[in-house]
């Protein structure tokens, strides 16, 4: 059996970061199974998937060493342990529309989703009663100051050892720094067949354009709004003389269905993201 961990590195770009982190992990007996790094506007970001043989696994030494390395590099280095034989721990973020959260909560309760729902985060209190009915802890985080709100949520995610995040109609834009910490681990649902009609008014745009087919898209969140790798999509025909309200009601049912499908595909480990495209393996 192996021990697995994900390591994220963030900070101002500088030379030698990849080599120093990789060398440290090698010294700790790690096998680097995946590494991805990029620089955006001078901001360096890197994620590493590493594994250890049980005999060489020394978590306290690893964490303290990474803390020292972070200070030396003047960067943030986060360590998150993972175990392939345990259920992944999920956080759900939502705002006020209940349909996606309700579908997720019911699926978790019926054990149709093989993961552990740990927390619901809301930037409003509208959905707190729904979360409580399903015995899901609810954390209210006002979003007036995005940096402070995200810092609060990330602290909670670290404490709860969150593995992946589902945005169940969460109507706030997450910063690139937040997204990178959970790269290809934040699943969002959008009420259109992306790339058509991005943004918050997708149903209205579709209605005003007179589309004949409308749909929903589940995708990994990237640092570009509604442009992340697509996981699942579905559609339905628009009936003649349908109103905007008709489109919204039909679309919300489809949103919940597509979001559940995407979460199940993710948990089945059947997804591989390559050059921005999700492939089922």
The helix or strand, by DSSP H or E, that contains position 72, with its residue range, turns out to be helix 59-73
E strands, 141-259, in order = 164-167, 186-190, 213-220, 230-237
Specify whether the CB–CB gap between 119 and 108 falls below 8 A.
no
Token readout for 100 is 């996606």
With a CB cutoff of 8 Å and minimum separation 6, the contacts of 57 are 3, 29
Catalytic site residue 145? no
Give which of 248, 192, 236 is closest to 212, Cα–Cα: 236
**Catalytic pick among 67, 226, 246, 272:** 226
> Which of 219, 220, 172 has the alpha carbon at shortest distance from 193?
219
Active-site residue set: 226
């Amino acid at each position: 059996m192996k021990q697995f961990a994900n390591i994220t590195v963030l900070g101002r770009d500088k030379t030698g970061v990849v080599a120093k982190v990789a060398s440290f992990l090698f010294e700790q007996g790690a096998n680097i199974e995946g590494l991805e790094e990029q620089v955006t506007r001078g901001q360096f970001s890197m994620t590493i998937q590493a594994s250890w043989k049980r005999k060489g696994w020394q978590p306290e030494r690893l964490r303290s060493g990474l803390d020292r390395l972070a200070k030396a590099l003047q960067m943030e280095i986060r360590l998150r342990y993972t175990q392939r034989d345990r259920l992944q721990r999920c956080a759900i973020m939502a705002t006020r529309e209940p349909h996606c959260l309700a579908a997720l909560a019911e699926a978790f309760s019926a054990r149709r989703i093989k993961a552990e729902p740990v927390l619901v985060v809301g930037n409003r209190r509208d959905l707190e009663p729904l979360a409580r009915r399903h015995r899901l802890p609810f954390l209210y985080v006002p979003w007036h100051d995005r940096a402070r709100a995200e810092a609060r949520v990330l602290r909670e995610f670290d404490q709860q050892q969150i593995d992946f995040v589902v945005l169940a109609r969460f109507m706030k834009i997450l910063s690139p720094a937040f997204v990178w910490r959970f790269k290809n681990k934040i699943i969002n649902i959008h009420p259109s067949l992306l790339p058509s009609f991005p943004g918050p008014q997708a149903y209205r745009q579709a209605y005003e354009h007179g589309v004949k087919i409308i749909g929903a898209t589940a995708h990994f969140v990237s640092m570009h709004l509604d442009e992340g790798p697509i996981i699942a999509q579905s559609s339905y025909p628009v009936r003649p003389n349908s109103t905007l309200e008709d489109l919204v009601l039909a679309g919300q049912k489809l949103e919940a269905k597509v979001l559940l499908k995407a979460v199940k595909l993710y948990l089945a480990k059947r997804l591989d993201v390559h050059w921005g495209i999700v492939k089922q393996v």
